[in-house]
């Protein structure tokens, strides 16, 4: 990295910002579990059409921070703003109302029911009689799965019987089918082979093109470095720093993850090692 | 079996065995077939054991099978809810005691409150009684559900406590006495009196309605799949399912119509409705008994709830992965509370059947029923690990349990040996099911 780019970075925080309003802004978020500060005064923003990779060791607090955004955890402190307006997100239903969709690391699928039931879980289509419209749900599932995974045929089987990649595509289909504008992907490729990993990467770029803001969570920077516009690194529950990928090298990001050392190309956060 | 139907190429289809192809085309659950097979085997064995022992096989007589259906109905009603409770990874040990206390409440209300107040035999008594019973069931079950869902006490503990508490409460209400008799209309719910079954004509009409519904369901199911260009069952498989469904229905009608009232009661009926009594005696078919119809209605309603409503979908999703259900935005606590409340209502329906059948309410009513209900549910293929179970399976499980008991009673087994046999069958059935599941995966 040359000094010129560094200077450039510090003047304009983020190319996606451009004076625009962030899609999501998490301000000063904290949460503690039994005295342990899992997330400690973390702030992070995401813009339209931007991919932000949230990096850090296992236990750094990335999944916890993101679960606060998706409504799975309730924060102790801090505020969330969606398109500049203060959002009240107390449970997963609230988050979905704001167009926040999450693909969890565990996929969070009900293993005993089929793909369509999982895709529409909590948002079932109903007939005029108020009963489940299984045929319409299956049709929609066939349509969306046809785009994501054209070889998928096992619509009638419980998802427990599907392969890792097929299960992943069901979880992704669920996240993108409901016109998400904020997508959270927690270790989306952890269980996948190289070909399926590539598919997820292609999909990420496709969704980005549609203007969806994406949080990619990973403990491995090689998975996400090429996809991301920006990286944010967490350590011990605190943000070490954020940086545009052009402004930092992989080694520097590794230094942030491992040592908490903020390189010149990054904007230091509260968790940065004070030198 | 794990391969999808649509990915198979034609040559692969040809290589498949006839049986596999048949099962796949008709989409019949192989475990259902196993259960029906077991039920037939048990019946035939008891019938022939009866012939060998007494020279007279009575198990497969219309009379015994009719009584068997009536005896099963109380347990069958409760299994329809227990399936969903167990699917949700909970258990309800209190249903027997709930049945007892609700029966006592209803008995007390009829004999000591409504009877003196409205006058014995007043036509509103049975309706008010049933409403009291159902509300009590919903409240007590809902209370269990509240403690489980919102106070976070494990269902095993809450309902174990309930098992003890409500049996005690039943005694406390009536101080151990037996309350009798029940209101005359209320008594019909038990299937005993002359008017407590729908006779031959009613049974035929009902049977024909069911057949029409089966055919229409197959037709509209096919039509809606056609609309979306989904893969269809072959036409012969549809026809087969229709014929089997209607065959079973009409066969059952024929069975319950082949059991006649004793001549004295039949003549009483003939006199009341001015039917001329023929020379060779008047034969009056019993037809479906009211408790059996109640159990069938409970099974249909609960199957509908389980498979066609959001609530049922959530029950299964919670059982499959509680965390995923929560993350999908399902209010799992509310669903848990409602489910236990429904279980209470079903226990109240069973309380109506049991106390009406006995024509009395005692604090011992429904004792050990929780064990029979859970056993029937598990024999019917519901997994205690949660997420898996069907209502028709549980009903078949209840029939298996009742057949064993009734069969051994006909052979004059001591009740000690009956208990030993029933308990062993429970363990054996679950073991068979485990083997089946391991093979299937």
pLDDT at B358: 94
Q: Which chain A residue has the Cα nearest residue B27?
A: A156
A112 domain residue, yes or no: no
Which residues in chain B are contacts of A132 at CB distance < 8 A? 307-310, 313
Cβ contacts of B12-17, under 8 Å, gap ≥ 24: none
The whole-chain average pLDDT of chain B stands at 91
Determine the residue of chain A that is closest to B332 in CA distance: A122
Structure confidence at residue B114 (pLDDT): 93
Cα gap B72→A264, rounded to integer Å = 78
Q: How many Cα neighbours within 13 Å face the side chain of B36?
A: 8
Q: Cα–Cα distance between B99 and B367 in angstroms, integer?
A: 9
Choose, out of A110, A119, A178, the residue to mutate when testing the contact with B (most B CBs < 10 Å).
Answer: A110
B55 vs A175, higher pLDDT: A175
CA distance A169 to chain B (A): 16
Q: Which of A132, A136, A158 sits opposite B308 (nearest CB)?
A: A132
Q: Which residue in A91, A122, A135 is closest to B228 by CB distance? A: A135
Contacts of A177 in chain B (CB under 8 A): none
Handedness of CA A109, A110, A116, A121 (dihedral sign): negative
With beta carbons less than 8 A apart as the criterion, state whether A13 and A267 touch. yes
Residue B168's Cβ-side half-sphere holds a number of Cα atoms within 13 Å equal to: 6
On chain B, the residues whose CB falls within 8 A of the CB of A161 are 2
Q: What is the pLDDT of residue A11?
A: 36
Q: Where are the domains of chain B?
A: 30-43+60-197+289-440, 198-288
Mean pLDDT score, B2-31: 64
The total of structural domains in chain A comes to 1
Structural Rg of chain A based on CA atoms = 19
**Which residues of A fall within a CB distance of 8 Å from B7?**
153
Q: Looking at residue B15, what is its pLDDT?
A: 59
Backbone CA torsion sign across A142, A146, A147, A151: positive
- Give just the sign of the alpha carbon dihedral B376, B380, B384, B387: negative
In this predicted structure, the answer to whether residue B267 has a pLDDT above a threshold of 80 is: yes
- What is the DSSP track for A163-192? -HHHHHHHHHHHHHHT--SEEEEESTTTT-
The helix-helix angle for B235-257 and B62-87 (nearest 10°) equals 130
Chain B residues within an 8 Å CB radius of A186: none
What spatial distance separates the first Cα and last Cα of chain B, rounded to whole Å? 9
pLDDT, tens only, B138-187: 999 999 999 999 999 999 999 999 999 999 999 999 998 999 899 999 99
Closest Cβ–Cβ partner in A72, A131, A139 for B308: A131
* pLDDT tens by residue, B347-392: 999 999 999 999 999 999 999 999 999 999 999 989 888 899 999 9
Q: Do A112 and B228 touch (CB under 8 A)?
A: no
At residue B16 the predicted structure's pLDDT band, cuts being 50, 70 and 90, is: low
Q: Which run of H or of E encompasses A32?
A: strand A24-33
Query: Do B95 and B82 touch, CB atoms closer than 8 A?
Result: yes
CB B313 to CB A112 under 8 A?
Answer: no
In angstroms, how far is CA A12 from the centroid of its own chain? 24
Window 246-275 of A: residues touching B by CB (8 A cutoff) are none
Give the per-residue pLDDT at A275: 54
ipTM: 0.85
Which H/E stretch holds residue A39? Answer: strand A36-46
Instruction: Write the pLDDT tens digit of every residue in B291-319.
Output: 999 999 999 999 999 999 999 999 999 99
Q: Which residues contact A243 (CB under 8 A, 6 or more apart)?
A: A9, A230, A231, A252, A253, A263, A265, A266, A267
Cβ neighbours of residue B200 under 8 Å, at least 6 residues apart?
B257, B285, B287
Q: Specify the pLDDT at position A20.
A: 76
Q: Which residues from A are below 8 Å from B325, CB to CB?
A: 110, 121-122
Regions of chain A short of the pLDDT cut 70: 1-19, 274-275
- For A108, the closest chain B residue by CA position comes to B324
φ/ψ of A82, rounded to 5, equals -115, 120
Q: Which domain holds residue A8?
A: 3-99+180-268
Buried-state track A81-111, b at ≥16 Cβ within 10 A, e below 16? bbeeeebebebbeebbebbbbbbbbebbbbb
Contact assignment for A111 to B6 by CB distance below 8 Å: no
Nearest CA in chain A to B87: A112
Residue A14, token pair as written in the block? 């983020």
| CB half-sphere exposure, A269, CA atoms < 13 A | 26
Q: Which residue of B has its CA nearest to A89?
A: B329
CB contacts under 8 A, B 283-342 vs A, are: 304, 307-310, 313, 316-321, 323-330
Of the candidates B130, B150, B126, the one whose C-alpha atom is nearest the C-alpha of residue B138 is: B130
Interface contact B227-A138, CB threshold 8 A: no
Would you state the pLDDT for residue A6? 39
Residue of A107, A113, A130 lying closest to B316 (CB–CB) = A113
Nearest Cα residue in chain B from A118: B317
- Residue B4 — very low, low, confident or very high, per pLDDT cuts 50/70/90? very low
Q: Tell me the backbone φ, ψ of residue A51, rounded to 5 degrees.
A: -110, 115
Report the gap between the CA of A108 and the closest CA in chain B (Å). 4
Chain A residue numbers with beta carbons less than 8 Å from the beta carbon of B328 are: 92, 108, 110, 121-122
Mutate: best of A71, A89, A121, A143, partner B, most B CBs <10 A: A121
Say how far apart CA B123 and CA B116 lie, in whole Å. 13
Q: Give the pLDDT mean for B383-404.
A: 93
Whether residue A126 is contained in a domain is answered as no
CA-nearest residue to B224 within chain A is A135
SS (H, E, C) B95-119: HHHHHHHHHHHHHHHHHHHHHHHHC
CA neighbor of A175 nearest in space, from A89, A82, A95, A65: A95
Size of interface A-B (CB pairs under 8 A): 91
d(CA A187, CA B72): 52
The answer to whether B317 contacts A124, with C-beta atoms less than 8 Å apart, is no
Distance in angstroms (rounded) separating the CA atoms of residues A98 and A83: 10
CB contact under 8 A, A70 and B327: yes
Spatial separation of the C-alpha atoms in residues B253 and B192, rounded to whole Å: 19
Surface of A (52-111) touching B: CB under 8 A: 70, 72, 91-93, 96, 102, 104, 106-111
**Which ranges of B88-174 would DSSP assign to H, the alpha helix?**
95-108, 115-118, 125-149, 155-174
Other Cβ atoms within 10 Å of B130 Cβ, number: 18
From chain A, the residues in CB contact with B25 under 8 A are none
The answer for B 391-420 residues in CB contact with A (under 8 A) is none
Query: How close A93 gets to chain B, by Cα (Å)?
Result: 5
Closest of B329, B304, B303, B301 to residue B314, by C-alpha? B329
CA distances from B309 to B72, B96, B299 (A): 27, 28, 15
Mutate to test the interface with A, among B8, B225, B313 (most CBs of A within 10 A): B313
CA distance A165 to chain B (A): 16
Calpha distance B145→B137 (Å, rounded): 12
CB contact under 8 A, B224 and A72: no
Answer yes or no: do A121 and B317 touch at CB < 8 A: yes
Residues of B in contact with A137 (CB under 8 A): none
- Find the helix or strand (DSSP H, E) in which A267 lies: strand A267-268
* Predicted local confidence at residue B441, as pLDDT: 63
Question: Which residue, A176, A226, A174, is CA-closest to A197?
Answer: A226
B residues 158-177 near A, CB within 8 Å? Answer: none
Whether B224 has its CB under 8 Å from any CB of chain A: the answer is: yes
Q: Which chain A residue is nearest to residue B230, measuring alpha carbons?
A: A139
Task: Please answer yes or no on whether B4 and A153 come within 8 Å at the CB atom.
Answer: yes
Asked if residue B345 has pLDDT above 90, the reply is: yes
CATH of the domain spanning B30-43+60-197+289-440, picked from 1.10.3470, 1.20.120, 1.10.8, 3.40.50: 1.10.3470
How large is the average pLDDT for residues B274-296?
90
Q: Calculate the dihedral angle through the C-alpha atoms of B69, B75, B80, B82, rounding to the nearest 10 degrees.
A: -160
Report DSSP letters for B206-226, one per residue: HHHHHHHHHHHHHHHHHHHHH
Whether residue B330 and residue A122 make contact (CB cut-off 8 A), yes or no, is yes
CATH number of residue A248's parent domain:
3.40.50.300
pLDDT digits (tens, 9 = 90+) for B65-79: 999 999 999 999 999
Q: Which of B224, B308, B321 sits opposite A108 (nearest CB)?
A: B321
Contact B329 A109 (CB under 8 A): no
Instruction: Find the helix packing angle between B199-227 and A134-148, rounded to 10°.
Output: 30
Query: What is the reported pTM?
Result: 0.89
Distance CA B41, CA B88 (A): 32
């Amino acid at each position: 990295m040359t000094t010129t780019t560094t200077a450039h970075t510090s003047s304009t925080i983020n190319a996606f910002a451009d004076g625009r309003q962030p899609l999501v802004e998490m301000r000063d978020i904290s949460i503690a579990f039994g005295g342990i500060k899992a997330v400690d005064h973390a702030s992070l923003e995401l813009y339209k059409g931007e991919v932000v990779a949230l990096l850090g060791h296992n236990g750094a607090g990335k999944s916890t921070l993101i679960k606060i955004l998706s409504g799975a955890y309730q924060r102790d402190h801090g505020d969330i703003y969606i398109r500049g307006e203060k959002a009240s997100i107390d449970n997963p239903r609230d988050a979905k109302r704001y167009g926040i969709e999450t693909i969890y690391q565990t996929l969070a699928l009900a293993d005993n029911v089929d793909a369509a039931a999982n895709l529409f879980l909590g948002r079932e289509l109903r007939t005029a009689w108020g009963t489940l419209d299984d045929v319409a749900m299956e049709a929609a599932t066939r349509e969306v799965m046809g785009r994501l995974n054209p070889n998928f045929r096992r619509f009638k089987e419980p998802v427990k019987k599907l392969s890792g990649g097929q299960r992943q595509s069901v979880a992704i289909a669920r996240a993108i089918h409901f016109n998400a504008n904020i997508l959270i992907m927690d270790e989306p490729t952890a269980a996948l082979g190289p070909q399926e990993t590539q598919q997820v990467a292609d999909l990420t770029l496709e969704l980005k093109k549609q203007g969806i803001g994406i949080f990619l969570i990973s403990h491995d920077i090689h998975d996400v470095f090429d996809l991301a516009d920006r990286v944010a690194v967490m350590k011990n529950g605190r943000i070490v720093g954020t940086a545009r990928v052009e402004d930092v090298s992989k080694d520097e990001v590794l230094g942030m993850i491992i040592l908490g050392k903020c390189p010149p190309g990054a904007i230091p956060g509260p968790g940065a090692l004070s030198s | 079996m794990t391969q999808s139907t649509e990915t198979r190429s034609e040559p692969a289809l040809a290589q498949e065995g006839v049986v596999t192809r048949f099962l796949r085309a008709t989409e019949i659950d192989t475990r259902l077939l196993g259960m029906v097979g077991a039920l037939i085997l048990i019946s035939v064995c008891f019938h022939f054991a009866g012939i060998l022992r007494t020279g007279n096989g009575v198990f497969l007589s219309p009379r015994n099978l009719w009584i068997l259906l009536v005896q099963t109905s109380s347990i069958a009603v409760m299994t329809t809810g227990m399936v969903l409770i167990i699917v949700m990874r909970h258990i309800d040990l209190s249903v027997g005691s709930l049945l007892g206390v609700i029966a006592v409440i209803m008995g007390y209300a009829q004999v000591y409150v409504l009877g003196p107040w409205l006058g014995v035999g007043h036509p509103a008594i049975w309706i008010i009684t049933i409403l009291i019973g159902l509300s009590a069931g919903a409240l007590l079950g809902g209370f269990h559900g509240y403690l489980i869902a919102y106070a976070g006490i494990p269902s095993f503990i809450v309902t174990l406590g309930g098992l003890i508490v409500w049996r005690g409460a039943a005694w406390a209400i009536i101080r151990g006495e037996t309350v009798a008799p029940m209101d005359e209309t209320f008594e019909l719910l038990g299937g005993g009196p002359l008017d407590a079954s729908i006779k031959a004509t009613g049974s035929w009409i009902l049977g024909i309605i069911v057949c029409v519904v089966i055919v229409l369901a197959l037709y509209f199911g096919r039509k809606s799949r056609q609309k979306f260009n989904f893969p269809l069952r072959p036409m012969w498989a549809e026809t087969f399912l229709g014929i089997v469904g209607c065959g079973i229905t009409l066969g059952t009608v024929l069975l319950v119509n082949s059991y006649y009232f004793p001549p004295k009661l039949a003549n009483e009926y003939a006199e009341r409705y001015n039917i001329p009594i023929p020379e060779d005696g008047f034969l009056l078919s019993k037809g479906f008994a009211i408790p059996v119809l109640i159990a069938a209605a409970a099974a249909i309603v609960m199957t509908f709830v389980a498979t066609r409503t959001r609530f049922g979908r959530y029950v299964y999703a919670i059982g499959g992965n509680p965390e995923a259900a929560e993350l999908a935005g399902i209010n799992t606590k509310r669903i848990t509370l409602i489910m236990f409340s429904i279980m209470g209502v079903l226990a109240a329906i069973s309380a109506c059947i049991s106390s009406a059948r006995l024509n009395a309410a005692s604090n011992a009513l429904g004792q050990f029923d929780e064990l029979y209900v859970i056993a029937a549910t598990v024999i019917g293929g519901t997994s205690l690990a949660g997420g898996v179970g069907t209502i028709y399976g549980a009903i078949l499980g209840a029939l298996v349990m009742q057949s064993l008991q009734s069969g051994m009673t006909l052979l004059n087994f001591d009740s000690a040996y009956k208990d030993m046999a029933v308990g062993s069958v429970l363990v054996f059935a679950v073991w068979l099911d485990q083997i089946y599941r391991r093979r299937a995966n």
